[in-house]
Amino acid sequence: MKILFFGDIFGRSGRDTLIKKLPYFKKKLNPDFILVNGENASHGRGISQIICKDLFDSGIDIITGGNHIFDNKDVFNFINDEIRLLRPINYPIDTPGNGFGVYEKNQKKLLVINVMGRIFMNPLDDPFESVKKILNNHLLGKDITASIIDMHAEATSEKMAIGHEFDGKVSLVVGTHTHIPTADAHILNNGTAYISDLGMCGDYDSIIGLDKNKSLEKFKKKIPISGISPASGEASISGVFVETNDESGLAMSIKLIIVGGKLQSTWS
């Protein structure tokens, strides 16, 4: 299976650039599934139904979330019914939406689990046990063709811990949330592809996607600053391209993608 997974979309710049570049990636790589983390797609805070539709119409198959998934209240109008939009699975019981999904295309089944870390984050349920419960009923190479965990977390150590805990049990573990692409894309000992953070689809002439001048005021003055908006310059697109073995479900390769904007490109 060929999988494209892009990092957190941040605001209009990230959305528009990703949608514009998707035809290039689809033609060049012919992916079976395309995923993106979309928790900051709506002006840097949450996601709306219109934005979801635009992303799905462009060719995105699955959108994962994180701690900002509910920031745009419009999401409550559709998240229960839209199985292609995920929120972290370890939110409390009865939280709207779904934390995982199984998606089928071209006679291939993909399991996607969205989970959130607990270090420096909201104290949600145990991410390890939450993931384990799902994997017990969706065996890689038997019930499903490939599987992915989006580990939305602050701490690199916690992301790595998830990677090693489920090495050999899933195809790919990606970290999201910190908006900075890491240089550690590799295959773990038992065959799971891993990266600590996919980075961001957004303007890197910013502070993690936000206007740098307003954000600097917040850091220096330590008082609430109003009107902080997403940076609106040319966006960089960051993510990974992973190929898996359809029989075992394990990863054969993982390549970092960085294209456009302020960051040095890793892709041609």
pLDDT digits (tens, 9 = 90+) for 220-236: 888 887 888 898 899 99
Token representation of residue 35: 């995923």
Q: What is the dihedral of CA 125, 131, 133, 138, to 10 degrees?
A: 160
Domain residue ranges in the chain: 2-259
The answer to whether 44 and 74 have CB atoms below 8 angstroms apart is no
Which is catalytic among the residues 43, 68, 138, 186?
A: 68
Burial of 58 from C-beta contacts in 10 A (0-12 / 13-18 / 19+): middle
| Phi–psi pair at 89, nearest 5 degrees | -70, -20
Instruction: Provide the pLDDT for residue 30.
Output: 96
pLDDT, position 223: 80
pLDDT of residue 141: 92
Provide the strand spans (E) within the chain: 2-6, 8-9, 33-37, 62-64, 100-105, 108-116, 146-152, 172-176, 186-187, 193-195, 200-201, 237-244, 251-259
DSSP line for 100-129: EEEEEETTEEEEEEEEE--TTS---S-HHH
CB atoms within 10 A of CB 53: 12
Contacts of residue 116, defined as CB under 8 A and 6 or more positions apart, other chains included, come to 66, 67, 88, 90, 91, 122, 124, 127, 151, 152, 153
| CATH architecture entry for 2-259 | 4-Layer Sandwich (3.60)
Q: What local confidence, expressed as pLDDT, does residue 216 receive?
A: 87
Geometric angle at alpha carbon 115, from 111 and 119, rounded to 5°? 155
38-67 pLDDT per residue, tens: 999 999 899 999 999 999 999 999 999 999
Q: Which residues of 224-234 are buried (b: 16+ CB within 10 A; e: fewer)?
A: eeeeeebbeee
Q: Does residue 197 contact residue 244 with C-beta atoms inside 8 Å?
A: no
Residue with tokens 């063709």: 145
- In this predicted structure, what is the pLDDT of residue 267? 79
Q: Are 189 and 167 within 8 A, CB to CB?
A: yes
CA 229: distance to chain centroid? 21
Residues of the chain with pLDDT under 50: none
68 labelled catalytic: yes
